[in-house]
Structure 1
Amino acid sequence: MRADRVAGGAALALALAYGWSAWRLEPGFVSDPVGPKAFPLGVALLLAGAGLYLVLRPDPDPPWPPRPFWPRALATGLGLVLYAYLLRPLGFVPTTALAVALLARLSGAAWPRAFLLGFGLALALYGLFGLLGVPLPAGRVWGG
Protein backbone atom coordinates (compact mmCIF):
# COMPACT_ATOMS: atom_id res chain seq x y z
CA MET A 1 0.00 0.00 0.00
CA ARG A 2 2.91 2.31 0.73
CA ALA A 3 4.39 2.12 -2.79
CA ASP A 4 1.08 3.13 -4.41
CA ARG A 5 0.62 6.05 -2.04
CA VAL A 6 4.18 7.27 -2.65
CA ALA A 7 3.69 7.01 -6.42
CA GLY A 8 0.29 8.70 -6.17
CA GLY A 9 1.70 11.56 -4.10
CA ALA A 10 4.56 12.00 -6.55
CA ALA A 11 2.09 12.03 -9.46
CA LEU A 12 -0.04 14.65 -7.71
CA ALA A 13 3.00 16.85 -7.05
CA LEU A 14 4.15 16.49 -10.65
CA ALA A 15 0.64 17.25 -11.94
CA LEU A 16 0.48 20.38 -9.80
CA ALA A 17 3.87 21.63 -11.01
CA TYR A 18 3.06 20.77 -14.63
CA GLY A 19 -0.37 22.39 -14.44
CA TRP A 20 1.08 25.55 -12.88
CA SER A 21 3.69 25.76 -15.63
CA ALA A 22 1.04 25.22 -18.30
CA TRP A 23 -1.20 27.90 -16.79
CA ARG A 24 1.63 30.43 -17.14
CA LEU A 25 2.00 29.82 -20.91
CA GLU A 26 1.34 32.97 -22.88
CA PRO A 27 0.17 32.68 -26.49
CA GLY A 28 2.23 34.51 -29.08
CA PHE A 29 0.31 34.65 -32.32
CA VAL A 30 -1.51 31.35 -32.00
CA SER A 31 -4.38 30.80 -34.40
CA ASP A 32 -5.83 28.05 -32.21
CA PRO A 33 -8.78 29.49 -30.25
CA VAL A 34 -8.01 27.34 -27.20
CA GLY A 35 -4.41 28.51 -27.00
CA PRO A 36 -1.29 26.64 -25.96
CA LYS A 37 -2.60 25.81 -22.47
CA ALA A 38 -5.29 23.27 -23.35
CA PHE A 39 -3.19 20.16 -24.01
CA PRO A 40 -0.75 20.51 -21.08
CA LEU A 41 -3.61 21.31 -18.70
CA GLY A 42 -5.44 18.21 -19.91
CA VAL A 43 -2.34 16.11 -19.28
CA ALA A 44 -1.98 17.64 -15.80
CA LEU A 45 -5.62 16.83 -15.00
CA LEU A 46 -5.25 13.22 -16.16
CA LEU A 47 -2.05 12.81 -14.14
CA ALA A 48 -3.70 14.35 -11.07
CA GLY A 49 -6.66 11.99 -11.43
CA ALA A 50 -4.39 8.96 -11.66
CA GLY A 51 -2.34 10.14 -8.67
CA LEU A 52 -5.47 10.78 -6.61
CA TYR A 53 -6.76 7.31 -7.45
CA LEU A 54 -3.50 5.75 -6.27
CA VAL A 55 -3.60 7.71 -3.02
CA LEU A 56 -7.27 6.98 -2.23
CA ARG A 57 -7.54 3.38 -3.47
CA PRO A 58 -4.07 1.82 -3.35
CA ASP A 59 -3.37 -1.80 -4.12
CA PRO A 60 -3.29 -3.63 -0.76
CA ASP A 61 0.08 -5.23 -1.49
CA PRO A 62 1.86 -3.68 -4.51
CA PRO A 63 5.37 -4.86 -5.27
CA TRP A 64 8.08 -2.32 -4.49
CA PRO A 65 10.47 -1.96 -7.43
CA PRO A 66 13.62 -4.07 -7.01
CA ARG A 67 16.97 -2.45 -6.28
CA PRO A 68 18.31 -2.61 -9.91
CA PHE A 69 15.33 -0.49 -11.03
CA TRP A 70 16.40 2.68 -9.20
CA PRO A 71 19.72 3.47 -10.94
CA ARG A 72 18.08 3.03 -14.35
CA ALA A 73 15.15 5.22 -13.33
CA LEU A 74 17.53 7.91 -12.09
CA ALA A 75 19.61 7.71 -15.28
CA THR A 76 16.44 7.99 -17.38
CA GLY A 77 15.27 11.05 -15.48
CA LEU A 78 18.67 12.73 -15.69
CA GLY A 79 18.87 11.91 -19.39
CA LEU A 80 15.53 13.58 -20.05
CA VAL A 81 16.54 16.67 -18.06
CA LEU A 82 19.83 16.85 -20.02
CA TYR A 83 17.82 16.47 -23.24
CA ALA A 84 15.80 19.55 -22.38
CA TYR A 85 18.92 21.58 -21.60
CA LEU A 86 20.98 20.40 -24.58
CA LEU A 87 18.27 20.63 -27.25
CA ARG A 88 18.85 24.28 -28.09
CA PRO A 89 22.67 24.38 -28.04
CA LEU A 90 23.24 21.03 -29.80
CA GLY A 91 20.14 20.89 -32.01
CA PHE A 92 17.38 18.35 -32.47
CA VAL A 93 19.14 15.54 -34.32
CA PRO A 94 22.24 15.01 -32.13
CA THR A 95 20.37 15.57 -28.87
CA THR A 96 17.52 13.24 -29.81
CA ALA A 97 19.98 10.63 -31.08
CA LEU A 98 21.88 10.69 -27.78
CA ALA A 99 18.70 10.57 -25.69
CA VAL A 100 17.25 7.64 -27.63
CA ALA A 101 20.61 5.83 -27.50
CA LEU A 102 20.71 6.27 -23.72
CA LEU A 103 17.14 4.99 -23.33
CA ALA A 104 17.86 2.04 -25.62
CA ARG A 105 21.02 1.21 -23.68
CA LEU A 106 19.15 1.40 -20.37
CA SER A 107 16.62 -1.01 -21.88
CA GLY A 108 19.36 -3.54 -22.62
CA ALA A 109 20.54 -2.73 -26.15
CA ALA A 110 24.25 -2.88 -26.96
CA TRP A 111 25.91 0.51 -27.57
CA PRO A 112 26.30 0.13 -31.36
CA ARG A 113 22.65 -0.78 -31.80
CA ALA A 114 21.57 1.92 -29.37
CA PHE A 115 23.42 4.59 -31.38
CA LEU A 116 22.06 3.27 -34.68
CA LEU A 117 18.54 3.34 -33.29
CA GLY A 118 19.08 6.81 -31.86
CA PHE A 119 20.34 8.38 -35.06
CA GLY A 120 17.83 6.54 -37.21
CA LEU A 121 14.90 7.67 -35.09
CA ALA A 122 16.26 11.22 -34.80
CA LEU A 123 16.60 11.52 -38.59
CA ALA A 124 13.15 10.00 -39.17
CA LEU A 125 11.55 12.40 -36.71
CA TYR A 126 13.44 15.32 -38.21
CA GLY A 127 12.10 14.39 -41.63
CA LEU A 128 8.56 13.95 -40.33
CA PHE A 129 8.58 17.29 -38.53
CA GLY A 130 10.06 18.88 -41.65
CA LEU A 131 7.17 17.54 -43.73
CA LEU A 132 4.71 18.89 -41.18
CA GLY A 133 6.42 22.29 -41.19
CA VAL A 134 7.40 22.18 -37.54
CA PRO A 135 10.58 24.17 -36.93
CA LEU A 136 13.23 22.36 -34.89
CA PRO A 137 16.36 23.80 -33.30
CA ALA A 138 19.42 23.39 -35.50
CA GLY A 139 21.79 24.08 -32.62
CA ARG A 140 24.19 26.89 -31.89
CA VAL A 141 27.14 24.52 -31.87
CA TRP A 142 26.59 23.63 -35.53
CA GLY A 143 26.05 27.23 -36.64
CA GLY A 144 22.24 27.17 -36.70
Structure 2
Amino acid sequence: MASDRIFGLVVAILALAYLAGAFQIQTSFLSDPVGPRVFPMMIAVVGLLCGLAMLWKPDAEPEWPPLPVWMKMALTVVILTLYAYMLAPLGFLIPTALVAAGVSYMIAPQPAKAAITGICLSVGLFVLFKYALGLGLVALPRALMG
Protein backbone atom coordinates (compact mmCIF):
# COMPACT_ATOMS: atom_id res chain seq x y z
CA MET A 1 0.00 0.00 0.00
CA ALA A 2 2.81 2.42 0.84
CA SER A 3 4.63 1.58 -2.37
CA ASP A 4 1.58 2.58 -4.43
CA ARG A 5 1.28 5.86 -2.57
CA ILE A 6 4.97 6.63 -3.02
CA PHE A 7 4.78 5.78 -6.72
CA GLY A 8 1.58 7.86 -7.08
CA LEU A 9 3.32 10.83 -5.46
CA VAL A 10 6.32 10.48 -7.77
CA VAL A 11 4.03 10.26 -10.83
CA ALA A 12 2.05 13.32 -9.70
CA ILE A 13 5.23 15.36 -9.12
CA LEU A 14 6.68 14.34 -12.49
CA ALA A 15 3.37 15.17 -14.20
CA LEU A 16 3.39 18.63 -12.63
CA ALA A 17 6.97 19.17 -13.77
CA TYR A 18 6.00 18.00 -17.26
CA LEU A 19 3.03 20.37 -17.23
CA ALA A 20 5.29 23.25 -16.21
CA GLY A 21 7.59 22.36 -19.09
CA ALA A 22 4.63 22.26 -21.49
CA PHE A 23 3.72 25.82 -20.48
CA GLN A 24 7.25 26.89 -21.47
CA ILE A 25 6.82 25.81 -25.10
CA GLN A 26 7.05 28.85 -27.35
CA THR A 27 4.30 29.26 -29.91
CA SER A 28 4.56 31.07 -33.20
CA PHE A 29 1.96 33.53 -34.36
CA LEU A 30 1.56 31.29 -37.45
CA SER A 31 0.74 28.12 -35.49
CA ASP A 32 -2.58 26.32 -35.70
CA PRO A 33 -5.37 27.24 -33.23
CA VAL A 34 -4.59 24.32 -30.92
CA GLY A 35 -0.86 25.03 -30.87
CA PRO A 36 2.06 22.79 -29.89
CA ARG A 37 1.37 22.96 -26.15
CA VAL A 38 -1.96 21.14 -26.01
CA PHE A 39 -0.78 17.55 -26.50
CA PRO A 40 1.96 17.73 -23.83
CA MET A 41 -0.53 19.37 -21.49
CA MET A 42 -3.04 16.57 -22.07
CA ILE A 43 -0.37 13.96 -21.34
CA ALA A 44 0.57 15.82 -18.14
CA VAL A 45 -3.04 16.03 -16.96
CA VAL A 46 -3.61 12.31 -17.58
CA GLY A 47 -0.38 11.51 -15.70
CA LEU A 48 -1.42 13.78 -12.83
CA LEU A 49 -4.85 12.14 -12.61
CA CYS A 50 -3.25 8.67 -12.58
CA GLY A 51 -0.82 9.69 -9.84
CA LEU A 52 -3.60 11.22 -7.75
CA ALA A 53 -5.75 8.09 -8.22
CA MET A 54 -2.90 5.96 -6.87
CA LEU A 55 -2.53 8.30 -3.90
CA TRP A 56 -6.26 8.30 -3.21
CA LYS A 57 -6.95 4.59 -3.61
CA PRO A 58 -3.79 2.45 -3.49
CA ASP A 59 -3.85 -1.28 -4.05
CA ALA A 60 -3.99 -3.08 -0.70
CA GLU A 61 -1.55 -5.79 -1.78
CA PRO A 62 0.35 -4.70 -4.88
CA GLU A 63 1.97 -7.54 -6.77
CA TRP A 64 5.33 -6.45 -8.15
CA PRO A 65 6.63 -8.15 -11.27
CA PRO A 66 9.50 -10.64 -11.06
CA LEU A 67 13.07 -9.67 -11.96
CA PRO A 68 12.95 -10.88 -15.61
CA VAL A 69 10.02 -8.55 -16.28
CA TRP A 70 11.96 -5.64 -14.75
CA MET A 71 14.87 -6.50 -17.04
CA LYS A 72 12.57 -6.44 -20.10
CA MET A 73 11.18 -3.07 -19.03
CA ALA A 74 14.69 -1.66 -18.59
CA LEU A 75 15.71 -3.00 -22.01
CA THR A 76 12.60 -1.41 -23.53
CA VAL A 77 13.54 1.97 -22.03
CA VAL A 78 17.04 1.64 -23.52
CA ILE A 79 15.60 0.66 -26.93
CA LEU A 80 13.17 3.58 -26.94
CA THR A 81 15.94 5.99 -25.95
CA LEU A 82 18.08 4.73 -28.82
CA TYR A 83 15.06 5.09 -31.08
CA ALA A 84 14.87 8.79 -30.31
CA TYR A 85 18.51 9.18 -31.36
CA MET A 86 18.11 7.02 -34.50
CA LEU A 87 15.18 8.95 -35.98
CA ALA A 88 17.10 11.95 -37.30
CA PRO A 89 19.96 10.15 -39.07
CA LEU A 90 18.04 7.07 -40.26
CA GLY A 91 14.61 8.50 -41.06
CA PHE A 92 11.32 7.13 -39.74
CA LEU A 93 10.82 3.75 -41.38
CA ILE A 94 14.00 1.86 -40.45
CA PRO A 95 14.22 2.78 -36.73
CA THR A 96 10.48 2.35 -36.22
CA ALA A 97 10.51 -1.09 -37.85
CA LEU A 98 13.50 -2.19 -35.74
CA VAL A 99 12.09 -0.89 -32.46
CA ALA A 100 8.58 -2.21 -33.09
CA ALA A 101 9.99 -5.62 -34.00
CA GLY A 102 12.24 -5.64 -30.92
CA VAL A 103 9.47 -4.71 -28.51
CA SER A 104 7.08 -7.13 -30.21
CA TYR A 105 9.67 -9.89 -29.80
CA MET A 106 9.99 -9.12 -26.08
CA ILE A 107 6.22 -9.42 -25.69
CA ALA A 108 5.94 -12.68 -27.64
CA PRO A 109 9.25 -14.25 -28.77
CA GLN A 110 8.25 -15.24 -32.29
CA PRO A 111 10.82 -13.78 -34.73
CA ALA A 112 8.75 -13.94 -37.92
CA LYS A 113 5.68 -12.36 -36.35
CA ALA A 114 7.83 -9.71 -34.64
CA ALA A 115 9.48 -8.76 -37.96
CA ILE A 116 6.11 -8.55 -39.74
CA THR A 117 4.71 -6.48 -36.88
CA GLY A 118 7.67 -4.09 -37.04
CA ILE A 119 7.42 -3.57 -40.78
CA CYS A 120 3.63 -3.17 -40.82
CA LEU A 121 3.61 -0.83 -37.85
CA SER A 122 6.41 1.27 -39.33
CA VAL A 123 4.71 1.68 -42.71
CA GLY A 124 1.25 2.15 -41.19
CA LEU A 125 2.40 4.82 -38.77
CA PHE A 126 4.38 6.58 -41.49
CA VAL A 127 1.32 6.79 -43.74
CA LEU A 128 -0.84 7.96 -40.85
CA PHE A 129 1.59 10.60 -39.59
CA LYS A 130 2.80 11.82 -42.99
CA TYR A 131 -0.40 11.88 -45.01
CA ALA A 132 -3.32 11.86 -42.57
CA LEU A 133 -1.77 14.19 -39.97
CA GLY A 134 0.53 16.10 -42.32
CA LEU A 135 3.71 15.75 -40.26
CA GLY A 136 7.02 16.42 -42.00
CA LEU A 137 8.58 13.00 -41.55
CA VAL A 138 11.53 11.75 -43.55
CA ALA A 139 11.00 8.14 -44.63
CA LEU A 140 14.62 7.00 -45.11
CA PRO A 141 18.10 8.42 -44.47
CA ARG A 142 18.69 11.58 -46.49
CA ALA A 143 21.71 9.97 -48.16
CA LEU A 144 19.43 7.34 -49.68
CA MET A 145 16.77 9.87 -50.69
CA GLY A 146 19.17 11.81 -52.89
Fold conserved (TM > 0.5)? yes
The aligned counterpart of 2:57 is 57
**In 2, Cα distance between the equivalents of 1:10 and 1:77?**
18
Q: List alignment gaps of at least 5 residues for structure 2.
A: none
Does residue 30 in structure 1 map to residue 27 in structure 2? no
Query: For residue 75 of structure 2, what is the amino acid of its counterpart?
Result: A
1:55 to partner: Cα distance: 2.1
**In the TM superposition, what is the alpha-carbon distance from 1:92 to its structure 2 partner?**
0.4
Structural mapping, 1:6-85, within 5 Å? 6-28=6-28, 29-32=30-33, 34-85=34-85
Residue by residue, what CA displacement relative to the aligned partner does 1:43-88 show, whole Å, maximum 9, x if unpaired? 2012112112212321111112222210011111111111111111
Distance apart, 1:117 and its partner CA? 1.3
1:10 Cα deviation from its structure 2 partner: 3.5
TM-score between the two structures when normalised by the length of structure 2: 0.84
Alignment-derived partner of residue 103 in structure 2: 103
Partner of 1:123: 123
Instruction: Tell me, in whole angstroms, the C-alpha distance in 1 between the residues paired with 2:144 and 2:135.
Output: 19
Q: Is the 8 A contact 1:99 1:118 kept in 2?
A: yes
Identity %: 36
Shift in Å at residue 104 of structure 1?
Answer: 0.3
Query: TM-score, normalized by length of structure 1?
Result: 0.85
In the alignment, is the contact (CA less than 8 A) between 1:93 and 1:123 conserved in 2? Answer: yes
**Equivalent residue of 1:68, what SS?**
helix
Runs of 4+ in structure 1 displaced over 6 angstroms? none
| Distance change >3 Å, CA 141–CA 66, structure 1 → 2 | farther
The farther-off stretch of 20-29 and 80-89 is 20-29
